[in-house]
Chains A and B, each alone.
Chain A
């Protein structure tokens, strides 16, 4: 079983729709959860982090965490073509604080 799993996509949504990105993780001891956005050839950019069960909202983005189900998701409301990118889910590993375990990423395409 992979440690962090994401659907590779591509996920295609029309402009203005809600994009829903999902991630599951295997280590029940994980405490910190991150969503990074990566444009082709660019660095991963942190867009959301969540530590507690429930929802966390920031602008058009909402992260949802369910530790019992070992599931974390990212919702993007009013999707824009500029949101088209690969979204990486990352979970803290058992090593040092910044030892993150990444999923392979979900490629999102927002069609005008």
Chain B
């Protein structure tokens, strides 16, 4: 079984630019989550999709972040415009019906300069 895959693995952009991160969950997993870890801090929840619907977006930091999951398969997380404080590792996770346990991808390391 293929795991959760994320693209790209690394991204370096300038402040003010736009970046789109992609996550492909494990096949058949209806639940998809985005988390991020900024340097020196703990991993923090951003949002949760059930299929194509946003179930919980309480962790989204502001309206510069837009997550989509059209068709209920892969998801994208767009940051526009990026700020320096957005730098960190963005993790995607997926799970079957029931919600847990979560299976994480390797993350996308985003650096905003």
Does B bind A? yes
- Please choose the segment from B13-21, B67-75, B95-103 that sits at the chain A interface, where 4 or more of its residues have CB less than 8 A away: B95-103
- Complex contact A98–B99 (CB within 8 A): yes
- A41-B106, A43-B106 are contacts. A97–B4 as well, Cβ < 8 Å? no
B63 within 8 A of A: no
- The answer for the CA separation of A47 and B4 in the assembled complex, in Å, is 17
- Asked whether any CB of chain B lies closer than 8 Å to the CB of A71, the reply is no
Asked whether, in the complex, the Cβ of B42 is within 8 Å of the Cβ of A95, the reply is no
Number of interface residues of A (CB under 8 A): 25
Residues of A within 8 A of B103 (CB): 46
* B106 closest partner in A (C-beta): A43
Residues of A within 8 A of B102 (CB): 46, 98, 100
> Complex: how many Å from CA A99 to CA B107?
17
How many inter-chain residue pairs (CB < 8 Å) link A and B? 65
A99 to B, closest residue via Cβ: B45
Within A48-65, the residues touching B (CB, 8 Å) are 49
A97→B97 CA distance, assembly (Å): 10
Let me know if B81 is at the binding interface, CB within 8 A. Answer: no
Check: A77 CB closer than 8 A to any chain B CB. Answer: no
The verdict on A98 contacting B105 (CB below 8 Å), with A93-B45, A104-B42 known, is no
A42 and B98 in contact, given A95-B58, A99-B59, A104-B42 (Cβ under 8 angstroms): no
Instruction: Check: A78 CB closer than 8 A to any chain B CB.
Output: no
Which residues in window 88-113 of B have CB below 8 A to A?
91, 93, 95, 98-107
Residue of B nearest to A92 (CB): B100
Q: Given A42-B106, A95-B58, is A104 in contact with B41 using a C-beta cutoff of 8 Å?
A: yes
Whether B43 pairs with A88 at a CB distance below 8 angstroms is yes
Q: List 15 A-B contacts (CB under 8 A).
A: A43-B3, A43-B106, A43-B107, A44-B91, A45-B104, A46-B101, A46-B102, A46-B103, A92-B100, A98-B33, A98-B93, A98-B99, A98-B100, A99-B33, A104-B42
Give B residues with C-beta under 8 Å from A: 3-4, 31, 33, 35, 41-45, 48, 55-56, 58-59, 91, 93, 95, 98-107
